[in-house]
Structure 1
């Protein structure tokens, strides 16, 4: 059985603004799943919905099964017990996620104390061990967030996520605000910790190349739906959906002069969730769209073994 099983997950704001439209995903223990897409495609909404961290104005439907238990129907007491201990989240922008007036060691210790997994004395020992685990000296526990670099703050966020030894970590754009060298260090750190502790990881990013290099499987989102899902290398190198192919082509490849000097972008922007076009939401930007695409939204279906695509022509438009 999957550790995380998302079934027909919907999120609607207000009366008729769909942010997620029937998302289906599964994640096994020890597996790494990447979720990609442009800004506005629903990635962060998905991350927050998994632990019911969305504002009160959001209405959720479907099921989010964590170890077989539906997060969406949990009472607040049970939900509080699951957060941090069963599943935790690494937010994008650590400077905004951390409390500026508390030392980082106290913030790492907080979930341990809330879940009664440590006393005040043993929490200090656990914080020191966690900081060493993410490559920071234990003395940095006394620092305030503004006294740390961007990479150090992100390591603190990862230490906090690991504090209660959860089985699932959701990392929402964990390296977006970092320079390339620090980004590589953080990604290797996350990979090592996942491998050593058997944690399931959902990593969210707009960078398909980073996800392909880090994760086992990839899911590509557009307009609140998963439009492609499969093995990471297959999705990156041989995407079946035109949107996933466009995302992949937007990144230059090492050793490929054509992509280096003329990376291909994608004109236009994702649609407004409150005014989705009829049929396939991608068809106004799609280079291979036909008339049927404007009236029919294809389901996510198998296009190859273990590889699903939501396109009328998953291998390209026929001649």
Structure 2
């Protein structure tokens, strides 16, 4: 049994202007001890998906489908059961640690809170556990007495990781954990996440717009566009030999280290993601797609096999299948 299974997951926000379909029919699985990356531009639905995993969405959100965590549907859990699952079985590292930490409480108290809430340790044992967690994420024990504003951005992000690890969960959801950090600190935090996940056998769902980061950290990669998964497969293959034109555009948008040509002439993606309330007919990517066909404006292709363990929702993948047969 998979540790996490998303079955036809949909999320719709209700606003004054109407309904906004943020996530549309996403089905993914994550095995125990594996890492899944979810990529896409801003507005693709990836962070909404991350928040849905632990029912952290605002009241105006309507969620459909199923989210199975160890075979139990998160969407149908009673509040008491959901409260027991958060932090203890699955935890989250939020984007922007400055906003995820309480500015008037010391770091040590905030790391200890989930331990005390779930009854996993008394006050004295919790203090010892906090010191251990701080050392594991590369911070000295005395930082437990610090307030968030007394730490750098990278240090605050390490604190968020320590909080996520406090109750030894089986799953960690990391929503763009390095976006606000400089390149050097980003590399340190990513190395830390990789090491801790490997050492503890934790499953990881990591959200990012950067395919190169996800390819380095995750086993598998799902690329989202306009609320749907347009490609899914082994992360290295999706990054280096994408089957969907949107995945190729995302991968090409980042310069290659040591390659002056890619740095001086990056291959960006023209245009903007579509308004989710006014999605184009057919494939939502076709107005920006450099290889779109006439039928792409009317035909929304379901994900098709695009190699071993890979799927892509593109008419060109379908054409290759027909040629092979």
1:32 positional shift: 1.0
1:60 to 59, 63, 82: 63
User: Which digits, 9 at most, give the CA deviation of each residue in 1:73-101, with x for residues without a partner?
Assistant: 10101000000011000001000110000
Check conservation: 2:304, 2:318, Cα contact below 8 A. no
- What's the offset of the Cα at 1:215? 1.1
Q: For 1:1-52, what per-residue CA distance to the aligned partner results, in whole angstroms no more than 9, with x for missing partners?
A: 1100011000011153100000111111111111110000001101000000
Check 1:208–1:121 CA distance in 2 against 1; reply closer, same or farther (3 A cut): same
1:270 aligns with 2:242: no
Q: Would you say the 8 A contact 1:301–1:310 is kept in 2?
A: yes
1:294 aligns with 2:297: yes
1:255: how far off? 4.2
* Contact 1:229 1:307 survives alignment (8 Å): yes
CA distance in 1, matches of 2:307, 2:76: 35
- Equivalent position of 2:86 in the other structure: 83
The CA RMSD over aligned residues, in Å, is: 1.5
* SS of structure 2 residue aligned to 1:211: helix
Secondary structure in 2 matching 1:264: coil
Query: Residues of 2 paired with 1:78 and 1:192: CA distance?
Result: 30
| Aligned 8 A contact 1:31 1:200 in 2 | yes
Q: Tell me the secondary structure at the aligned position of residue 16 of structure 1.
A: strand
Residues 83-232 of structure 1 mapped to structure 2, 5 A cutoff: 83-232=86-235
Return the alpha-carbon distance in structure 2 between the equivalents of residues 48 and 185 of structure 1. Answer: 25
1:9 aligns with 2:9: yes
SS in structure 2 of the partner of residue 313 of structure 1 = helix
Q: Secondary structure of 2:194's match? A: helix
1:22 aligns with 25
The answer to whether the Cα contact below 8 Å between 2:23 and 2:45 also exists between their aligned partners in 1 is yes
- 2:41 corresponds to 1:38: yes
1:220 aligned counterpart, secondary structure:
strand
Query: When the two structures are superposed, what TM-score results if normalisation uses the length of structure 1?
Result: 0.97
Q: CA deviation at 1:257?
A: 3.9
Q: Can you give the 5+ residue segments of structure 1 that lack an aligned partner in the other structure?
A: none
Of 303, 313, 316, which residue of structure 1 is paired with 2:316?
Answer: 313
CA distance in 2, matches of 1:256, 1:183: 21
Which shows bigger deviation, 105-114 or 248-257? 248-257
Is this contact kept in 1: 2:174–2:206, CA < 8 A? Answer: yes
Q: Matched residues in 2 for 1:201 and 1:117: separation?
A: 22
C-alpha distance in 1 between matches for 2:311 and 2:258 = 29
Distance 1:33 1:69 in 2: 20
C-alpha distance in structure 2 between counterparts of 1:180 and 1:316, whole Å? 41
C-alpha deviation, 1:145, in angstroms: 0.1
Deviation at 1:194, TM superposition (A): 0.3
**How far has the Cα of 1:307 moved from its partner?**
0.9
How far the C-alpha of 1:254 sits from its partner, in A, is: 2.9
Q: Is the 8 A contact 1:240 1:315 kept in 2?
A: no
Give 1:261's match in structure 2, choosing from 264, 269, 281: 264
Q: Which runs of 5+ in 2 are unaligned?
A: none
Q: CA deviation at 1:316?
A: 8.5
Query: Does the residue aligned with 2:314 lie in a helix, a strand or coil?
Result: coil
Distance in 1 (CA, whole Å) between partners of 2:190 and 2:143 is 21
